Structure 1
Amino acid sequence: MPETMVEETSVQGHEAHAASYVLAAAALLLNAPDEQVQVQLRAAGAMPEQPLESLRQSFYDRFCIPQSGLYIPPFEHVFRRRQRVGKYWHFPPARFGGGCAVEQVYERFGFEHTRVKADPILSAPHLPGDHLGFMLAFLGWVLRGGVQVKSMPPEIVGDLRTFVAMHINGWAFAYCDLLRESEPDGYAAAVGEAVRDAIGEVNAFLAGDEGTATVPS
């Protein structure tokens, strides 16, 4: 991810590095690109030069509007139930309460995902909290707060590692793969690469005890 896409934080060290990556990736999933994002992606060589309107259309088609025919749902409970029929992927509709398990983790940490800056389409209070953008924003919020993982109570460290293992690792990488397949040289692929990098940074930061969490596919 380009340096210019990284938010500055008051947190030092590896936490700040991981937080900046994950917050930037969350913003890409939750907000339509503006001119600054367009310039940064082009400068980083993440994608060929394209009109801003094309980038914005790609965002809405692939991240927001199920009826577009290009939509790839960023909700964990939806994406995990995908089915391939011939050459096409089919996704069930999002369910009210589909993100309850994730939202319970938010509540334990005091994170309010409904207050995260997001496009109006993604700001409805009834949207499930297992949207990948919200989950990355949660991790960035924890890291940006200066939490020193090694000094945290073991049960909290375990919660963070289990959260990543159970709710992000696995399906999120498959999600990034589909973004790239959907638009190999376009905006969706660039977002997918940023998300993949951010998850890698979080995993590196939390590296240590592997834990016993099973990673669903």
Structure 2
Amino acid sequence: MRIADFLRGGSRSVELDLLDNLFLMADPERFDSTLASRVLYEFGTLSKALAADLHELERIKGVEGPIIAAMTLVASITQQSLRTQASAQPVINDWSALLAYLHVTMANLKSEQFRIMFLNCRFMIIRDEVLGYGTVDHAPAYPREVIKRALELGATGVVLVHNHPSGDPEPSRDDIYITRNIIEAGRHVSVKVIDHVIISASGYRSLREGGMLG
């Protein structure tokens, strides 16, 4: 497929304009009018481009110094803005804000990450932590460690989150099994599992919405 054919269409046209302007501001003296289109063609979407790591970006001719710094800054600002919005009110009042933050932060990761949102008694986020990193298809999650950390923080609830780099957010048997083990461990010390959300580039799945919390 030619780059011109790939970029034809409303959403890609908007993303191209945004990236083009970002690159122009980042490095006006060496601005290359073809760079934004080549970056989008390489990664497919703006969100995937902003989530790319240094080695992936450096493979594209012209993506260096100021361009990489600008892309990293935009990605960080976006994540922080969405994190602030998700933390501004009880998560049960605006679930979409939490999902937006999780999608931007985790949807395009190349390996699994196990994250926990620790909540107080008003369902406000008091801490957002990554408790485990894994391979492309597994991130370790230990019930005892999850509950221990919740008690250390004074949390009364948790939202478990991990990503599926495969792009398929459907929960595995292991996902359901470990979730129920954490639920059982928390029940003895009044720490409630509000949900377990699985994030992927194609969307998300909620074990609570799917009736799989047990």
TM-score (ref. length: structure 2)? 0.26
Q: Which has the higher helix share?
A: 1
